[in-house]
Amino acid sequence: MKIRTHKKRIQTAALISFTDVIFLLLIFLLISSSFITHSGIKVNLPNSSSQQNEYNKNINLTLNKKNELFINDEFVSWEALPEKLNKMLVDDPEQVVVVRADEEIMLRQIVHLLDLAKLSGSNRFFIATEIELKNE
């Protein structure tokens, strides 16, 4: 006695699992893109029309209107900046120094801040700006 088996072609595609995967990837992308952190210190950043890059390994140097200096939201004096920044860079030399200065700060103060950061061992700098949206 011979048993015959019939091979049937699949007529329908199981797209339910595929749409679930795409939906989960979309949710992951939306959630992870909202984790861009900004400092809680009030600073009016200058406008820029070019896009800026965000890195995970940032050291934020913030200079506000009152000439107060902060490293990652922690107040620091101008004299203590090179030592404190050097300690942070020794732990991870790949960190990027992001300078967040109020738009009303004089350029010489920002240059002085960049000089102190360079003397403490950093060689990667970015200046934070607000993205200027074009109204069409």
Domain assignment of residue 51, given as a range: 47-131
Question: Does residue 15 form part of some domain?
Answer: no
Pairing status of strand 96-101 against strand 74-76 = unpaired
Question: Does residue 126 form part of some domain?
Answer: yes
Number of other CB atoms surrounding residue 96 within 10 Å: 17
19-40 pLDDT tens trace: 888 888 998 888 877 655 555 6
105-135 pLDDT tens trace: 888 888 888 888 888 887 787 777 776 665 5
Q: How many separate domains does the chain show? A: 1
